[in-house]
Structure 1
Amino acid sequence: MLHQFTYMLFRLKLIQPSENAIKYWIDTNAIAKLEYALKHGNYKTRQLAAEGLELVGQPSSIPVLLNAINDNIQKVSIAALNALETLGCSDDLVISITRKRFNWVKELRDKEEKEQNKKPKKHNIYRWERASKKSFDRVKEQLNKPIR
């Protein structure tokens, strides 16, 4: 009863379903609720819903998972790809999915390599360190003087 109420509030866009609610939907094979969560939830809800559809394993959710591949959040897209691979749709689809996954991995590695190859900026901060050290020493000396 509580999970139905949660789903109703989620449909009204008042709350996001909790991880326990999504696990309950997985246990009861509530595919429609999981698909709705995959379409309209926040990034964490979408990721959990895609993982749930992977566990439920119904071929009727393939179109929703195909739309979720192009999600802006990469974790959601990867969860949708994993779900599609688990469902084992067709050979051509699985090949395109693995290609897309390898392209993502390549893009991530290239991005990390670019960041590592960037030359670090050289900042001349010694002047500021000396000025701050002098002002600190001056304040310290003034505090050591007796108050008259």
Structure 2
Amino acid sequence: MLHHIKYLLLKFNITQPSDNDIYDWMQYNYVNRIEYALEHGNYKTRKLAAEALGNLGAHSSIPMLFRSIDDKVQNVSIAALNALEQIGCKDELGATLIKKRFDWVREHRDKKAKQEANKGKKYNIYRWERASKKSFERVKEQLKKPIR
């Protein structure tokens, strides 16, 4: 009964469901409620909902998971990718998208790790010293002299 109330509170945007609520929805196989939480929840709720849909393995939620791949929060999109992989999206387009997204995530993590590794390094940058006014005047005078 309480999970019905939590769903209504989510619908009216009053509160977000907790881990236990989403777990209860998984037990009762309420895929539509979990999909609604994936679409309208905050980032923690969206991540939990994506993981729950992956555990349920409902093929009807594949389009919703594809939409959540491009989520603003990286953890949500990774959870959606993992869920799609758990469900076993056998579509060629889906497999290609999942592979490309995982490659992008790996490159992004490698780039961050490289930045963190190079954070403390100091680079020796050689700067050419500007010619002093004295030497500039001397060169100017030499150019005025006739060539022999």
By the TM > 0.5 criterion, same fold?
A: yes
Note if 1:96 corresponds to 2:97: yes
What runs of 5+ residues in structure 2 fail to find an aligned partner?
123-148
Q: CA deviation at 1:119?
A: 4.7
Tell me the distance in 2 between the aligned counterparts of 1:22 and 1:37.
Answer: 9
Residue identity opposite 1:97 in structure 2 = I
> Max radius of gyration: which structure?
2
**Once the two structures are superposed, what CA deviation does each residue of 1:55-77 show, in whole Å capped at 9, x if it has no partner?**
11111101100011001111111
Q: CA deviation at 1:105?
A: 1.1
Q: CA RMSD in A?
A: 1.4
Q: 1:126 corresponds to which residue?
A: none
Tell me the distance in 1 between the aligned counterparts of 2:80 and 2:43.
Answer: 12
- Structure having the higher helix fraction is 1
Structure 1 residues 1-148: aligned runs within 5 Å = 1-92=1-92, 93-119=94-120
Q: CA deviation at 1:115?
A: 3.1
**Once the two structures are superposed, what CA deviation does each residue of 1:66-108 show, in whole Å capped at 9, x if it has no partner?**
0110011111111100111111122522232022112211111
Residue identity opposite 1:56 in structure 2 = L
When structure 1 is superposed on structure 2, of 7-16 and 110-119 the one drifting more is: 110-119
Residue identity opposite 1:78 in structure 2 = I
Tell me the distance in 1 between the aligned counterparts of 2:90 and 2:16.
Answer: 33
Aligned residues between the structures: 121
Tell me the distance in 2 between the aligned counterparts of 1:53 and 1:25.
Answer: 10
Q: Say which SS state the counterpart of residue 77 (structure 2) adopts.
A: helix
Residue identity opposite 2:116 in structure 1 = E
TM normalised by structure 1 equals 0.76
TM normalised by structure 2 equals 0.76
Q: 2:146 corresponds to which residue?
A: none
Tell me the distance in 2 between the aligned counterparts of 1:91 and 1:61.
Answer: 14
What runs of 5+ residues in structure 1 fail to find an aligned partner?
122-148
Q: CA deviation at 1:120?
A: 5.7
Tell me the distance in 1 between the aligned counterparts of 2:65 and 2:29.
Answer: 16
**Once the two structures are superposed, what CA deviation does each residue of 1:96-143 show, in whole Å capped at 9, x if it has no partner?**
20221122111111122123213568xxxxxxxxxxxxxxxxxxxxxx
